[in-house]
Amino acid sequence: MSDTNELIQRYLAAWNETDAAARQAVLAEVYAEDAVYTDPLVSVQGRDGLDATIAAIQGQFGGLVFSLGGAVDAHHDIARFTWHLGPEGAEPVAIGFDIAVIGDDGRISRVLGFLDKVPAGV
């Protein structure tokens, strides 16, 4: 379980990384090259697609950070977790729930995301 926890923490760190080169390095570490990310607002394949999605979210919600909203629940090759987006240490403006599928190489091969709380106009 600790390996899965670390993987999800590193995955969220990619969402918080504002330096493009550093973010791409973290994505290469935790996200399979051909992985798929799908949520209600976007569906992309590959690290480049996810990187562009993260950059767009950072542009829209500059200064806010992603954090775990609770414990990571995992079994076999699947992990589920709640995340928060908001000012560090303050009430989140957005809350979501993701399911990550982990490939044989230990990297995330698919993320299915759900949005539980979103700001108006998103």
Q: In this predicted structure, what is the pLDDT of residue 121?
A: 66
CA angle 1, 108, 44 (to 5 degrees): 150
Q: Say if residue 100's pLDDT is above 80.
A: yes
Q: In this predicted structure, what is the pLDDT of residue 21?
A: 98
pTM equals 0.93
Identity of residue 22: A
What whole-number distance in Å separates Cα of residue 52 and Cα of residue 75? Answer: 30
Q: Say if residue 1's pLDDT is above 60.
A: no
User: 117 versus 122: which is more confidently predicted?
Assistant: 117
Domain assignment present for 84: yes
Q: Are 85 and 93 in contact (CB under 8 A)?
A: yes
Domain assignment present for 122: no
- Domain containing 29 equals 3-117
What whole-number distance in Å separates Cα of residue 56 and Cα of residue 94? Answer: 15
Q: In this predicted structure, what is the pLDDT of residue 2?
A: 57
Q: Are 53 and 40 in contact (CB under 8 A)?
A: no
User: 2 versus 61: which is more confidently predicted?
Assistant: 61
- Can you give the CATH number for the domain in which 43 is found? 3.10.450.50
